[in-house]
Amino acid sequence: MTMQEAYQQGEKLLVQAQIPDARLDAWYLLEHVTGVSRAMYYAMPDKELSEEQADQYSDFISRRAAHIPLQHLTGEQEFMGLTFRVNEHVLIPRQDTELVVEEALKIMESCSEAEYPAGKADDSKKQDFRVLDMCTGSGCILLSVLYHAGKDKKCGNLKMAGTGADISEEALEAARINAELLNIEAEFIHSDLFDAAEGRFELIVSNPPYIRTDEISKLQDEVQGHDPWIALDGKEDGLYFYRKIISGAGGYLSDGGHLVFEIGFDQADAVSTLMRDAGFRDIMVKKDLAGLDRAVIGVYDR
């Protein structure tokens, strides 16, 4: 079987299965199996697949047609320009969540500049800056923050340390693997929210479960059938984990520390009110690229 024949058959099967982006998925799977770039494919579409490659591609196409997420087949997902290993134990990183990282980096830049407005401090005078990622999953938020802040000259005055907390041991194992592959130093702790957290943090970020329980069954098959339920279910009104995290965050934030949440598109008012009632100030709502409310930020004074 040639690459062109394999691709055309794969695309046809995915279209018949009503897979969104069937053409792209058929291509990504072919590229993953063969290691052949698109430019190389167009240069030699009649290149024969090995028997092993043909069998693997056929298997991947069949599983994708059954609505198994593409990322569970390839085992990876790009996020903030980095490649993360993913599996059935973690929520697949979404582009919308990149907004949380971007806002976290802005906060870190402002803290660094406020501490040393005249320029970079020497290592002995750098400001300690601890980041806690609550419900860390694959670690994509925490590791992206640490990676990009480490390369951002505007964050050069910060002595950064990161902790990811999750109740799922399987998710924590995935996060640790990602940290090792990306060569990023971070601590990952098995914790039911703040139970195992220690000390104070200048920044807490979180993409908690926020889907209402009765809404999960209405999500795409790829989501409700394959993303871990524990990473989706925000209980009856979708706000359960926001209440828990907001009520506990004050005990773990440093004076003037920030809390940054990802939220569902219709949760901005509710989450903002919860934060305001808990003593947070300067609450802001940020929109994603689609113009939907996607993040809420607040500052906590001790």
Residue 112 and residue 177 share a domain: yes
CB 158 within 8 A of CB 209: no
Tell me what pLDDT residue 302 has.
81
The whole-number average pLDDT for the span 54-83 is 98
Residue 73, in any domain of the structure: no
Residue 288, in any domain of the structure: yes
Residue 274 and residue 167 share a domain: yes
For residue 214, say whether it is annotated as part of any ligand binding site.
Answer: no
The whole-number average pLDDT for the span 196-221 is 97
Tell me what pLDDT residue 160 has.
96
The whole-number average pLDDT for the span 46-66 is 97
Q: Taking 80 as the threshold, does the pLDDT of residue 115 lie above it?
A: no
Q: Which is more confidently placed, 124 or 72? A: 72
Tell me what pLDDT residue 156 has.
86
Give the helix/strand (H/E) hosting 56.
Answer: helix 51-65
The whole-number average pLDDT for the span 71-89 is 98
Q: Taking 80 as the threshold, does the pLDDT of residue 122 lie above it?
A: no
Q: Taking 60 as the threshold, does the pLDDT of residue 120 lie above it?
A: no
Residue 267 and residue 201 share a domain: yes
Tell me what pLDDT residue 284 has.
98
The band of 124, judged by pLDDT with boundaries at 50, 70 and 90, is low
Residue 100 and residue 38 share a domain: no
**Paired strand residues for 281:** 299
Range of the domain at 48: 3-66
Helical segments of 184-267, H only = 221-224, 240-249
The whole-number average pLDDT for the span 54-63 is 98
Neighbour count for residue 199 (Cβ, 10 Å):
11
Tell me what pLDDT residue 125 has.
66
Which of the residue ranges 7-21, 124-138, 155-169, 206-220 would you say has the lowest mean pLDDT?
124-138
Tokens of 74: 């390839």
Overall domain count for the chain = 2
Residue 243 and residue 127 share a domain: yes
- CATH of residue 157's domain is 3.40.50.150
Reported pTM = 0.94
CB 212 within 8 A of CB 265: no
Three-state DSSP class for residue 195: coil
Residue 280 and residue 209 share a domain: yes
The whole-number average pLDDT for the span 121-145 is 89
Residue 165 and residue 245 share a domain: yes
Residue 103, in any domain of the structure: yes
Residue 83 and residue 62 share a domain: no
Residue 86, in any domain of the structure: yes
For residue 166, say whether it is annotated as part of any ligand binding site.
Answer: yes
Three-state DSSP class for residue 51: helix
**Residue type for 297, please?**
I
- CA torsion sign for 162, 168, 169, 170 is negative
Tell me what pLDDT residue 301 has.
94
Place of tokens 């930020």: 297
Average pLDDT over the chain, rounded to an integer: 95
The band of 159, judged by pLDDT with boundaries at 50, 70 and 90, is very high
The whole-number average pLDDT for the span 109-125 is 66
For residue 87, say whether it is annotated as part of any ligand binding site.
Answer: no
